[in-house]
Amino acid sequence: MRGPSGYSLTELMVVVAILGLIGVTSITGALEQWRTEQSSAVANELSGWLGSVHRAALRGKRCEITIAPDTSPDPLTGNAVAATAREVDDTDPIDNGCLAHSPLVIHAVSSGTSFTLTPRNTTFSFTPRGTVAEASLNPLEFRIAITTGGAIHCVRLMGLLGLVKIGHVAAGSCHYRS
Task: Average the pLDDT over 81-103 and give the result.
Answer: 72
Task: Average the pLDDT over 78-100 and give the result.
Answer: 72
The CATH classification of domain 9-176, taken from the options 3.55.40, 2.30.29, 3.40.50, 3.30.70: 3.55.40
User: Residue 121: is its pLDDT beyond 60?
Assistant: yes
pLDDT above 70 as % of the chain:
80
pLDDT band (50, 70, 90) for residue 17:
very high
Q: Map residue 147 onto helix, strand or coil.
A: coil
Q: How far is CA 125 from CA 6, 55, 89, 138, in A?
A: 74, 12, 12, 12
What's the pLDDT at 18?
94
Task: Average the pLDDT over 44-55 and give the result.
Answer: 87
Task: Average the pLDDT over 90-105 and give the result.
Answer: 68
Task: Average the pLDDT over 96-112 and give the result.
Answer: 76
Q: How far is CA 175 from CA 37, 85, 106, 153, in A?
A: 17, 27, 23, 9
Strand partners, 33: none
Q: How far is CA 129 from CA 52, 58, 86, 163, in A?
A: 15, 6, 17, 13
What is the rounded average pLDDT for all residues in the chain?
A: 80
Is-contact 131 64, C-beta < 8 A? no
CA angle (73, 76, 80) in 5-degree steps: 130
CA atoms within 13 A on the CB side of 140: 28
What predicted TM-score, i.e. pTM, was given to this entire model? 0.76
What's the pLDDT at 13?
94
Closest Cα partner for 62 from 158, 132, 153? Answer: 132
Task: Average the pLDDT over 85-89 and give the result.
Answer: 79
User: Residue 135: is its pLDDT beyond 60?
Assistant: no
